[in-house]
């Protein structure tokens, strides 16, 4: 695990982290072989600054590349090889602004993104498109990946870590980003995930997703062993449904398994999900988290061959239901006509027609401040 306390911009090896230093207090940055400390003037993020409702959005934005050829792009997004250019890049950027400005009452406090190319893409999005709305931005580049996960936040970031998830064959699986937010002294830990896709077949690629589930669950269990009251959310594009095990006909182990299923005790490397927050637990080495998908009627956040799937998730620990601090309030899929095509499926970006948004719909989690 690489750990970063990210309060100024650093680029070294595979790590790139950016934060607006004007918002920081005295903190440290640690990267292997490097140690820095810095101070910056800022107002404290006190209790009076905490929002009554905390909005968190997760969105796979479908291969958002900048307009610079770096060599790692997919051909259709490489300005030197395809049709991709600055006009199309900014067209997609302004469409993201349109989404955040028109489909939310106000811009979310925390935005978790998947499939962002690099720090330049995120920097332009935040500073040029969203007008520096977000003082904290995090993206840790991985040279083995064409796209990365990223975070924009108006809530102070205390620490960031990357969790390496291993390999599938010779191909490196995407790392998981762990972000610690400071809510006036109380800590919220969010994991931004982008698990292995089903390209190549669901069963054939399941091992890759299980590998990511194992790393995620081990890390969460380690955190809970120290502080069971820690507020924890695992979010992002998991590339499988919360009830995947049932959907596969219970023919093989899946990375996500409903907690009511009777399965081998050796399958503790999967993440177990429940419809009842009271059933969240760490028991017999299994981690069980709550899935809001059980409580909404939406058909899904992603569609493939006219079949809806629920592969974008927020998984919550039971501390977000204890009546203290921030609690779960609601979950929704941002299923607006703006983001849908003529068949009412997600209007994916099409490099031929040069139209669309993303093949995923954003998902929106709302937490409410209970105080205490």
Q: For residue 91, what is the domain's CATH number?
A: 3.60.10.10
Q: Which residues contact 367 (CB under 8 A, 6 or more apart)?
A: 53, 54, 56, 320, 326, 327, 328, 329
Looking at residues 307-328, what average pLDDT do you find?
97
Task: Give the residue among 294, 290, 270 at the shortest CA–CA distance from 281.
Answer: 290
Looking at residues 113-135, what average pLDDT do you find?
96
pLDDT at 8 over 60: no
β-pair partners for 287: 282
β-pair partners for 55: 366
Question: 282, exposed or middle or buried, with CB in 10 Å at 0-12, 13-18, 19+?
Answer: middle
Q: Which residues contact 294 (CB under 8 A, 6 or more apart)?
A: 242, 274, 275
Residue 38 Cα to chain centre, angstroms: 28
Task: Give the residue among 154, 108, 164, 316 at the shortest CA–CA distance from 230.
Answer: 316
Question: 104, exposed or middle or buried, with CB in 10 Å at 0-12, 13-18, 19+?
Answer: middle
pLDDT at residue 31, rounded to an integer:
30
State the maximum Cα–Cα separation within the chain, in Å, rounded to a whole number. Answer: 57
Q: How confident is the model at residue 17 (pLDDT cuts 50, 70, 90)?
A: low
Distance CA 93, CA 209 (A): 30
pTM for this predicted structure: 0.90
SS3 295: helix
Q: How confident is the model at residue 27 (pLDDT cuts 50, 70, 90)?
A: very low
Distance CA 353, CA 366 (A): 35
Of residues 49 and 309, which shows the higher confidence score?
A: 309
Q: What is the pLDDT of residues 42-92, one digit of tens each?
A: 333 445 578 999 999 999 999 999 999 998 899 999 999 878 999 999 999
Name the residue range of residue 258's domain: 2-369
Of residues 4 and 304, which shows the higher confidence score?
A: 304
Of residues 18 and 172, which shows the higher confidence score?
A: 172
CB atoms closer than 10 angstroms to residue 304: 13
Q: Which residues contact 170 (CB under 8 A, 6 or more apart)?
A: none
Domains identified in the chain, total number: 1
Q: Which residues contact 295 (CB under 8 A, 6 or more apart)?
A: 275, 331
Long-range contacts of 67-76 (CB under 8 A, 24+ apart): 68/120, 70/117, 70/118, 72/117, 72/143, 72/146, 73/117, 73/146, 74/146, 76/351
pLDDT at 38 over 80: no
Looking at residues 251-275, what average pLDDT do you find?
97
The bridge status of strand 148-153 relative to strand 136-138 is antiparallel
């Amino acid at each position: 695990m690489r750990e970063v306390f990210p309060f100024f911009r650093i680029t070294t090896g595979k790590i790139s982290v950016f934060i607006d230093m004007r918002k920081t207090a005295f903190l440290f940055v640690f990267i292997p072989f490097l140690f820095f400390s810095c101070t910056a003037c800022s107002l404290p993020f006190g209790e009076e600054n905490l929002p009554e409702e905390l909005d968190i959005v997760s969105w796979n934005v479908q291969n958002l590349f900048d307009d610079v050829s770096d060599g790692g792009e997919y051909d259709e997004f490489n300005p030197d090889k395809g049709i991709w250019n600055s006009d199309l890049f900014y067209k997609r950027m302004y469409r993201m602004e349109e989404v955040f400005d028109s489909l939310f009452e106000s811009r979310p406090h925390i935005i978790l993104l998947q499939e962002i190319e690099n720090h330049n893409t995120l920097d332009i999005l935040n500073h040029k498109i969203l007008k520096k709305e977000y003082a904290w931005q995090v993206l840790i580049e991985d040279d083995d990946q064409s796209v990365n996960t990223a975070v924009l936040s108006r809530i102070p970031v205390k620490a960031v870590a990357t969790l390496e998830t291993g390999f599938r064959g010779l191909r490196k699986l995407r790392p998981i980003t762990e972000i610690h937010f400071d809510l006036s002294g109380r800590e919220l830990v969010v994991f931004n995930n982008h698990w292995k896709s089903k390209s190549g077949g669901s069963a054939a690629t399941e091992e890759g997703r299980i590998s990511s589930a194992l790393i995620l669950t081990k890390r969460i269990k380690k955190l809970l062993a120290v502080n069971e009251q820690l507020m924890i959310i695992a979010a992002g594009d998991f590339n499988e449904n919360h009830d995947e095990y049932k959907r596969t006909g219970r023919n093989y182990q899946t990375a996500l398994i409903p907690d009511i299923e009777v399965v081998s005790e050796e399958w503790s490397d999967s993440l177990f999900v429940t419809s009842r927050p009271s059933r969240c637990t760490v028991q017999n080495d299994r981690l069980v988290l709550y899935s809001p998908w059980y409580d909404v009627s939406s058909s899904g956040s992603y569609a493939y061959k006219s079949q809806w799937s629920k592969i974008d998730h927020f998984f919550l620990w039971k501390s977000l239901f204890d009546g203290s601090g921030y609690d779960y309030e609601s979950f929704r899929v941002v299923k607006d006509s703006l983001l849908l095509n003529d068949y009412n499926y997600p209007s994916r970006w099409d490099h031929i027609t040069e139209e669309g948004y993303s093949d995923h719909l954003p998902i929106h989690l709302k937490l409410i401040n209970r105080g205490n």
